[in-house]
Amino acid sequence: MNNTKIIQSPKEFWKASRNNEYLKSTSGVAPGYVQTNLAVLPKEYAFDFLLFCQRNPKPCPLLEVMEPGQPEPKILAEGADIRTDIPYYRVYKNGKLTEETKNITEYWSDDLVSFLLGCSFTFETAMLNANIPLRHLEQDTIVPMYITNIQTTPAGIFSGPMVVSMRPIHKDNLVRAVQITSRFPATHGAPIHIGDPKGIGIENINLPDFGERAEIKGNEIPVFWACGVTPQVVALKSKPSIMITHSPGYMFITNERDESIAVL
């Protein structure tokens, strides 16, 4: 495989990941196809986690939940294998990161339930298509993320604060940015908050809890979206015996088109 060529189709991406031939970030891969976060948990946690996602759709927009032990995302990615078709995975035991690995076949069991959650790549593409620039892409940095004082709605053993991502938006683009992201409730949807970091418990906008600082220029307003890191932070807090996720930036790619999950 020639790594300089951009992979255009999900199937090609699954195969390259499976053979450890593609080991880079999935940003820009298979353009127009929905990319997702992955969270794998033992069945004993699955009802509470599913309920947590149902109650907190903005940080946890569920796209597919697979039956216990089922490694094929039959609805969104027929033919893929969730155990091998992502470049890098992270394995957590009792809430602690124990390994980063290229496949999770050795950890797999009939007891594991896989959750695919929408990721912001989808609405970011839509904003770029509307000529709304995104600072972290201009800077080639990781989007800044913050732990807020907004509490998620607890479910069973899961609870905790919402994590948000921040993108500086020029005031002339503010309405359009709200409109565009509102079309994608399956990938975090409309902003959670506009304009006042302190109002949601962020003391210093220049010191994100995850990711990297993004400069806010004159005439730009900080806009905050619910972030897919939330369910991961919340789940790890409950110290499950095992939890497996994708590695940050190395997403799963589905066979679904971005526009097919848009509302209106």
Instruction: Write down the least CB distance from residue 155 to a second copy, Å.
Output: 8
Site string for a second copy, 129-148 (x = CB under 8 A): --------------------
> Is residue 212 within 8 Å of 56, Cβ to Cβ?
no
Q: Could you give the angle at the alpha carbon of 28 between the alpha carbons of 26 and 32, nearest 5°?
A: 105
Instruction: Write down the least CB distance from residue 144 to a second copy, Å.
Output: 27
With CB under 8 A as the contact rule, the residue among 149, 153, 206, 219 that binds a second copy is: 153
Instruction: Write down the least CB distance from residue 121 to a second copy, Å.
Output: 21
Please return the burial class of 96, using the count of CB atoms within 10 Å of its CB with bins 0-12, 13-18 and 19+: exposed
Taking CB under 8 A as the binding criterion, the range among 14-22, 59-67, 136-144, 197-205 that sits at the site for a second copy is 59-67
List the end-to-end C-alpha distance of the chain, in Å, as a whole number. Answer: 39
Nearest CA among 11, 6, 8, 56 for reference residue 255: 11
Site string for a second copy, 224-243 (x = CB under 8 A): --------------------
Q: Strands 112-118 and 62-65: what pairing? A: antiparallel
Instruction: Write down the least CB distance from residue 185 to a second copy, Å.
Output: 7
> Is residue 176 within 8 Å of 130, Cβ to Cβ?
yes
Does residue 156 bind a second copy (CB under 8 A)?
A: yes
Residue 42 token pair: 């033992």
What's 123's DSSP letter?
Answer: H
With CB under 8 A as the contact rule, the residue among 30, 39, 60, 65 that binds a second copy is: 65
Residues forming contacts to a second copy in the complex (CB under 8 A) are 46-47, 50-51, 54-55, 62, 64-65, 67, 75, 153, 155-156, 179, 182-183, 185, 263-264
